[in-house]
Chain A
């Protein structure tokens, strides 16, 4: 498995994704028109795709990072353990992304 580069790639994506987070907060502090612009973007097809991608990058980087914690603590270095941790991080990252979006739609979809 070559997922260490994916950890780095998702980290880079999140780095530039913070611009979206900063834009959203600044718009909220600016006023209704600026905030409506952000909502128009995040509500569009491309905006939703970017936010979905951002969610996955965050969840994958989190799970993959937890895998690094396990290694930092000195566990999980056997071949089968490494494989299990890596696949676990990949699957958990995707599962958490889907879960967050289901909850988001269930809670916020009707508003």
Chain B
């Protein structure tokens, strides 16, 4: 298997064997989404301030406009992805019971996907004006 007869490279044989199993992809994505949100934070705050004190009709009109919907969609995808990774790191740091850890990681995924899809659905519905 690991002898000279193997056609697999040394890297391929060890890939995925670290404690995180998937290498550094989460580390990279955490930084990627962080940079995305750093760029998006000012437009997002501007959008929120635009909505303060407006009634439903005014808010729905603003939220349904194309540039604002796109800004919010980008921010939602980046933030939910970021918080999913962040919470998983916290879970892996503090929960050492293997079954509880797996259940917590699963619950974290469910929560983040639910928040993301609910928010994205709401924005798409506002954009389509139904």
Interface size on B, residues (CB 8 A): 35
- Tell yes or no: B126 within 8 A of A by CB: yes
- Tell yes or no: B41 within 8 A of A by CB: yes
Interface size on A, residues (CB 8 A): 32
- Contacting B at CB under 8 A, from A10-43, are 11-12, 14-15, 18-19, 21-22, 25-26, 28-29, 31-32, 35-36
By beta carbon, the residue of chain B nearest A55 is B45
- Tell yes or no: B38 within 8 A of A by CB: yes
- Tell yes or no: B119 within 8 A of A by CB: yes
Do B56 and A31 touch across chains, with their CB atoms under 8 A apart? yes
Q: Write out, one digit per residue, whether chain B residues 85-119 have a CB within 8 A of any chain A CB (1) or not (0).
A: 01100100000000000000000000000010011
By beta carbon, the residue of chain B nearest A72 is B31
Residue of A15, A26, A66, A108 near B86 (CB, 8 A) is A15
- Tell yes or no: A107 within 8 A of B by CB: yes
**By DSSP majority rule, is chain A's interface helix, strand, loop, or mixed?**
helix
Residues of B at under 8 Å CB distance from A?
31, 34-35, 37-38, 41, 45, 48-57, 59-60, 63, 72, 79-80, 83, 86-87, 90, 115, 118-119, 121-123, 125-126
Residues of A at under 8 Å CB distance from B?
8, 11-12, 14-15, 18-19, 21-22, 25-26, 28-29, 31-32, 35-36, 58, 62, 65-66, 68-69, 72, 100, 103-104, 107-111
Could you list 29 examples of A-B contacts with CB < 8 Å? A11-B86, A11-B87, A11-B90, A12-B87, A15-B86, A18-B79, A18-B80, A18-B119, A22-B118, A22-B119, A26-B119, A26-B122, A28-B126, A29-B60, A29-B121, A29-B125, A32-B56, A32-B57, A35-B56, A35-B60, A69-B34, A69-B35, A72-B31, A107-B49, A108-B49, A108-B51, A108-B53, A109-B52, A111-B53
